[in-house]
Amino acid sequence: MPDLSPDPHALELAEAAAAAFRDAHLEEPEGLWAAPGRVNLIGEHTDYNDGFVMPFALPFYAAVAASKADEWSFHSTYGNGETLRTADLDGVEGWAAYLAGTAWALNESGHPVGPAKIALHSDVPVGGGLSSSAAIECAVLIALADLYGHEIDRAEAARIAQKAENEYVGAPTGVLDQSASLLCETGHVMFMDCRDLSREQVPFDLAAEGLAMLVIDTQAPHRHADGEYAARRADCEEAARQLGVASLRDAPRHAKLDDDQLNKRMHHVVTENDRVLKTAAILRSGRIAGIGELLTASHTSLRDDYEVSSVELDSAVDAALGAGALGARMTGGGFGGSAIALVEAASAGKVEDAVIAAAAQAGLPVPRVFVARAAQGAHRVK
């Protein structure tokens, strides 16, 4: 049985959301909910190719305090204290678009929700590539579903939150981040097939093996991220079209295309899916240390074939490996954001120092480094 008791840190954040709710509305909220950010252990840019991913939830949460109401009202500790009130859900922009968009997507998906007062508080770093927007969507989704009495299967909920991101916010992402936020379990990585969202929770007890996973937030702003992300998706679709397959998941192992760029994109997706399957097999056999080389190979492929890394991410990965990390890679969409490094617990400090020194020497922003644990997916806190 998964551990379903509220994460104590999620509870703290939810109490801050409740305080913001009380300030804005001078009453208690009906309930508190929280949904986490994520790290993707391996399986990058595979989700929109019907491939395999392997995320775990981080103990950073978006928390919401909410009640049913007569009109929509959105409040956030992100905003400058203002409360946005609106009779309908059309055309909401900025941070509130994630809230309005999620309500819109629920309505569009046959789970009607009426208006609600929602106050949001989150500590998922914005722009860190750790799924701050999916965390908001998923927290709001489970809150509205609860308030309006809908029991929604979590895989369907992930598709609904993705719809909010794709069609309301306008970011053409896959389903990785929303699935991770809604479906991950404490102490596990989730191996998921994005074609049908079938999944397996694989135990991931780093401490028991004397290991640690560092997350290195490079603090580098995303550059041209949206346009580049959409361009990679378009390349994959074109490669699949030329091969005559539904998606690159089905590309024959030794397929070759005339266009060099499409070939490189395809090569990344095919080899990355293979690396996820190998990683899952190693983890099932209980040898986490054995996945290091696969993580590093994933980074090389994302850097050279998929071309979504950045000077900051490469610096972090190279410095971590130079200081003895067992494996390291960028995680998430790329073009800035975060990298991860699998290390012997005893050498975590040395690797962290090396990563920071390398950034300083190259004149890059000072990265923020922390030790990850596999936390709990979205849940009602109170």
CA angle 133-139-144, nearest 5°?
125
Burial class (CB in 10 A: 0-12, 13-18, 19+), 209: middle
Of 33, 45, 60, 76, the residue at the interface with ligand GAF (CB under 6 A) is 45
Whether residue 213 contacts residue 344, with contact meaning beta carbons closer than 8 Å, is answered with: no
Nearest Cα residue to 98 out of 144, 29, 149, 150: 144
Of 31, 101, 174, 327, the residue at the interface with ligand GAF (CB under 6 A) is 174
Q: How far is the CB of 134 from ligand GAF (least distance, A)?
A: 7
| Smaller CB separation from ligand GAF, 171 or 257 | 171
Q: Where are the alpha helices (DSSP H) in 244-330?
A: 260-284, 292-304, 311-322
CA angle 232-370-314, nearest 5°?
40
Work out whether 31 is an interface residue with ligand GAF (CB under 6 A).
no
- Of residues 47 through 76, those in contact with ligand GAF by CB under 6 A are 47-48
Binding segment for ligand GAF among 39-47, 81-89, 152-160, 321-329 (CB under 6 A)? 39-47
| Smaller CB separation from ligand GAF, 47 or 137 | 47
List of residues 6+ apart from 166 with CB closer than 8 A: 172, 173
| Smaller CB separation from ligand GAF, 235 or 352 | 235
Q: Distance between CA atoms of 337 and 160, rounded to whole angstroms? A: 25
Whether residue 58 contacts residue 38, with contact meaning beta carbons closer than 8 Å, is answered with: yes
CA angle 46-51-53, nearest 5°?
70
Three-state SS at 296 = helix
Work out whether 352 is an interface residue with ligand GAF (CB under 6 A).
no
Q: How many CB atoms lie within 10 A of CB 231?
A: 14
Whether residue 176 contacts residue 53, with contact meaning beta carbons closer than 8 Å, is answered with: yes
Work out whether 130 is an interface residue with ligand GAF (CB under 6 A).
no
Work out whether 217 is an interface residue with ligand GAF (CB under 6 A).
no
Whether residue 221 contacts residue 127, with contact meaning beta carbons closer than 8 Å, is answered with: yes
Active site residue 23: no
Taking residues 177 to 206 in sequence order and writing x for each that binds ligand GAF by CB under 6 A, - otherwise, the string is x-----------------------------
Work out whether 137 is an interface residue with ligand GAF (CB under 6 A).
no
Q: How far is the CB of 177 from ligand GAF (least distance, A)?
A: 5
Of 44, 185, 312, 352, the residue at the interface with ligand GAF (CB under 6 A) is 44
Work out whether 37 is an interface residue with ligand GAF (CB under 6 A).
no
Work out whether 305 is an interface residue with ligand GAF (CB under 6 A).
no
Of 73, 173, 186, 301, the residue at the interface with ligand GAF (CB under 6 A) is 173
Catalytic position from the list 177, 217, 235, 305: 177
Pair of tokens at residue 372? 């990850």
Half-sphere exposure of 252 (CA within 13 A, CB side): 7
Binding segment for ligand GAF among 38-46, 146-154, 205-213, 277-285 (CB under 6 A)? 38-46
Q: In what order do the strands lie in the sheet with 72-76?
A: 83-86, 72-76, 116-122, 55-68, 31-40, 379-380
CA angle 75-67-135, nearest 5°?
55
| Smaller CB separation from ligand GAF, 165 or 185 | 165
Q: How far is the CB of 122 from ligand GAF (least distance, A)?
A: 17
**Which neighbouring-strand residues pair with 40?**
55
Of 51, 59, 332, 336, the residue at the interface with ligand GAF (CB under 6 A) is 332
List of residues 6+ apart from 285 with CB closer than 8 A: none
Pair of tokens at residue 17? 């959301």
| Smaller CB separation from ligand GAF, 264 or 382 | 264
| Smaller CB separation from ligand GAF, 44 or 217 | 44
Total residues at interface with ligand GAF (CB under 6 A): 11
Q: How far is the CB of 38 from ligand GAF (least distance, A)?
A: 9
| Smaller CB separation from ligand GAF, 76 or 173 | 173
Work out whether 232 is an interface residue with ligand GAF (CB under 6 A).
no
Residues that bind ligand GAF (CB under 6 A): 40, 44-45, 47-48, 173-174, 176-177, 332-333
Which residues are tagged catalytic? 177
